[in-house]
Amino acid sequence: MPEPPRTAWIVEDLPHARAWVAEALLAAFPGIEIRQADALGVAMQWLESPPDIALIDLGLPDGSGTQLIEALQRRQAKTLCVVSTVFDDDAHLFPALRAGAQGYVLKDQSVDTLGDILRGILADQPPLSPSIARRLLRHFQPAHDNPQPTPEILTPRETDVLRLIAKGYTVVQVAQALSLSHHTTAGYVKDIYRKLSISSRAEATLEATRRGLVDSSAR
């Protein structure tokens, strides 16, 4: 069984996201020593003393988190590099894995869920969000010549709800923006998730992007 990591880096520019990762790390590995960086350049200055585990955002203000992963790989560091991001599409997932990432978690996880995912490292389980694990499995399944299914049609109101959810609105904020009750809005969200066969905000954001409802460059 692997030894628990004793040192960690959190490389993330958003303060609330750093706090989320730090809480999960401490829950998974009590007593772990954590260093936090809000930019790629800061972490690059620490390469002489690589950590046991690093939680790295992809969209940093001065570069991509994949650059840090590649730098750690070039130093042959034994750091377990785990991406933490809102992006669950192939265009972000596979370049990160090719750079050397050994885990990929989405920011829509609760602290408890992220802690459980990280704790699984001690049982040799790769730290992957469930939707990422499913995406990897689908990627390696044999291709079929069957026609692609027609995208599920949403009602105009469901489309409005999806757009706001993808922009980061909570259910309460969506209800306020659209002058709906909390109960009605929650029902719309449930119907959207069922129609689109999704189960997370990150997946909803990706689907909204595919439908042109939000800017694909938004984080």
User: Residue 125: which of 103, 95, 141 has the closest Cα?
Assistant: 103
Give the pLDDT score at 219.
43
Give the pLDDT score at 215.
66
Give the pLDDT score at 146.
56
Per-residue pLDDT of the chain (219 residues; tens, 9 = 90+): 578 999 999 999 999 999 999 999 999 999 999 999 999 999 999 999 999 999 999 989 999 999 999 999 999 999 999 999 988 888 889 999 999 999 999 988 899 999 999 999 999 999 998 888 888 888 777 666 555 556 678 888 999 999 999 888 998 999 999 999 888 898 899 889 888 888 888 888 888 888 888 765 544
Measured CA to CA, the distance from residue 60 to residue 52 in angstroms comes to 21
Q: Which distant-in-sequence residues (6+ apart) come within 8 Å of 111 by Cβ?
A: 20, 23, 24, 27
Measured CA to CA, the distance from residue 69 to residue 58 in angstroms comes to 10
Phi-psi region of 33 (alpha: psi -120 to 50; beta: other; left: phi over 0): beta
Decide if 5 contacts 32 (C-beta within 8 A).
yes
pTM of the model: 0.66
